[in-house]
Chains A and B, each alone.
Chain A
Amino acid sequence: MLTALTIHELSARFRSGEATPSQAVREYLERIAALDPKVKAYLTVVPETALGQAAAADARFRSKAPLGPLDGIPLAVKDVFCTRGVETTCGSKILKGFVPPYDATVITRLRSAGAVLLGKLNMDEFAMGSSTENSAFFTTRNPWDLSRVPGGSSGGSAAAVAADLAAATLGTDTGGSIRQPAAFSGTVGFKPTYGRVSRYGLIAFASSLDQVGPFAKDVADTALMLQTIAGHDPMDSTSATIPVPDYAQALRLDVKGLRVGIPAEYFIDGLDPEVEAAVRAAIATLEDLGAKTESVSLPHTEYGLAAYYVIAPAEASSNLARYDGVKYGLRVPGARDLIDMYSRTRGAGFGAEVKRRVMLGTYALSAGYYDAYYGQAQKVRTLVLRDFQEAFKRVDVIVAPTTPGVAFKMGEREDPLQMYLNDVFTIPVNLAGLPGLAIPAGFTQAGLPIGLQIIGKAFDEATLLRVAKAYEAATPWRSRKPELAA
Chain B
Amino acid sequence: MSDNTYEAVIGLEVHAQLRTRTKMFCGCSTAFGAAPNSQTCPVCQGMPGTLPVINRRAIEFGIRTALAINCTVNADNRFARKHYYYPDMPKNYQISQYEEPLAEHGYLDIEVAGVARRIGIQRLHLEEDVGKLVHEGNLETAQSSQVDFNRAGVPLMEIVSMPDMRTSEEAAAYLKALRAIVVYLDVCDGNMEEGSLRCDANISLRRRGAKEYGTKVEIKNMNSFRNVQHALEYEIKRQARALDTGERIVQETRLWDPDKAHTVSMRSKEFAHDYRYFPEPDLPPLDLAPAWIDEVRATLAELPAAKRQRFMKDYALGAYDAEVLTQSRALADYFEAAAKGSANPKMVANWVLNEFLRVVPGDDQKAITLSPIKPENLKGLITLIEGGTISGTLAKSVFEDMFQSGEDASSIVARKGLTQVADAGALGAVVDRVLAEHAKVVEDYKAGKKAALGFLVGQVMKSTSGKASPSVVNALLIEKLPKV
Contact = CB atoms under 8 A, between A and B. Distances in A.
**A, B co-complexed:** yes
Interface of A: 81-82, 88, 90, 95, 98, 100-102, 104, 199-204, 207-208, 234-238, 314-315, 318, 321-324, 326-328, 338-339, 342, 362, 365-367, 370, 374
Contacts of A102: 42, 47
A342 B85 contact: yes
A200 B83 contact: no
Contacts of B195: none
Contacts of A338: 87
Contact of A315 (B49, B52, B281): B281
B51 A236 contact: yes
Interface in B423-461: none
A229 B276 CA distance: 34
Contact of B49 (A202, A323, A362, A367): A202
Contacts of A204: 48-49
B90 interface: yes
Interface string B85-129: 101001111000000000000000000000000000000000000
Interface string B38-54: 00001001111111111
B278 A326 contact: no
6 contacts: A81-B49, A202-B49, A204-B48, A321-B83, A326-B147, A362-B276
Nearest to B279: A378
B479 interface: no
B42 A101 contact: yes
A268 to B, nearest CB: 30
A201 B42 CA distance: 9
Nearest to A88: B48
A237 B282 contact: yes
Contact of B91 (A202, A236, A322, A367): A322
Give the interface SS of chain A, mostly helix, strand, loop or mixed.
loop
Contacts of A235: 51, 53
A208 B281 contact: yes
Contacts of B87: 326, 338
A100 B282 contact: no
A82 B91 contact: no
Given A315-B281, A321-B91, A322-B46, A365 B276 contact: yes
Given A321-B93, A324-B92, A326-B87, A104 B49 contact: yes
Nearest to B271: A367
B284 interface: yes
A237 B45 contact: no
A437 B199 CA distance: 54
Interface in B13-65: 42, 45-54
A238 B280 CA distance: 11
A362 B47 CA distance: 21
Nearest to A362: B276
Contact of B46 (A199, A207, A236, A327): A327
B301 interface: no
B274 interface: yes
A57 B127 CA distance: 46
B283 interface: yes
B51 A237 contact: yes
Contacts of B50: 200-201
Contact of A201 (B49, B53, B283): B49
B81 interface: yes
A90 B42 CA distance: 17
A477 B140 CA distance: 68
Nearest to B42: A102
B43 to A, nearest CB: 8
A130 B281 CA distance: 24
A103 to B, nearest CB: 10
A203 B45 contact: no
Nearest to B147: A326
Contacts of B282: 207, 237-238
B283 A237 contact: yes
Contacts of B91: 321-322
Given A207-B281, A237-B54, A321 B92 contact: yes
A198 B299 CA distance: 37
Given A81-B49, A203-B48, A321-B92, 20 more contacts: A82-B47, A90-B48, A200-B50, A201-B50, A203-B49, A204-B49, A207-B282, A235-B53, A237-B284, A314-B278, A315-B281, A318-B81, A318-B278, A321-B85, A328-B47, A338-B87, A362-B276, A370-B277, A370-B278, A374-B278
A234 B53 contact: yes
Contacts of B92: 321-322, 324
Given A208-B281, A322-B91, A365-B276, A237 B52 contact: yes
A82 B49 contact: yes
A102 B440 CA distance: 93
Interface in B234-289: 274, 276-278, 281-284
Contact of A318 (B42, B51, B93, B284): B93
Nearest to B25: A237
Contacts of A95: 48
Pairs A-B, 3 closest by C-beta atoms? A321-B92, A207-B281, A365-B276
Contacts of B147: 326
B412 to A, nearest CB: 57
Contacts of A236: 51, 53
Nearest to B86: A338
Contacts of A200: 49-51
Interface string B362-386: 0000000000000000000000000
Contacts of B274: 366-367
A420 to B, nearest CB: 21
A76 B215 CA distance: 60
Contacts of A314: 278
A204 B53 CA distance: 16
B48 A324 contact: no
A238 B47 contact: no
B281 A100 contact: no
B42 A100 contact: yes
A439 B283 CA distance: 33
Nearest to A95: B48
A366 B274 CA distance: 7
A163 to B, nearest CB: 27
Interface in B69-92: 81, 83, 85, 87, 90-92
A406 B50 CA distance: 35
Contacts of B52: 237
Interface centre among B48, B85, B87, B91 (most CB of A within 10 A): B48
Given A100-B47, A322-B91, A237 B276 contact: no
Nearest to A370: B278
B90 A322 contact: yes
Nearest to A321: B92
B340 to A, nearest CB: 46
A204 B50 CA distance: 8
A324 B85 contact: yes
Interface in B124-158: 147
A82 B52 CA distance: 16
A83 to B, nearest CB: 10
Nearest to B272: A367
Nearest to A339: B85
B278 A365 contact: yes
Interface centre among A101, A208, A326, A338 (most CB of B within 10 A): A326
A101 B276 CA distance: 31
Interface in B280-314: 281-284
Contacts of B54: 237
Given A314-B278, A318-B278, A366-B276, A238 B93 contact: no
A238 B48 contact: no
Interface centre among B90, B281, B284 (most CB of A within 10 A): B281
Nearest to B273: A367
Given A235-B53, A327-B90, A322 B48 contact: yes
A237 B53 contact: yes
Nearest to B81: A318
B312 to A, nearest CB: 49
A88 B42 CA distance: 14
Interface centre among B42, B47, B93, B277 (most CB of A within 10 A): B47
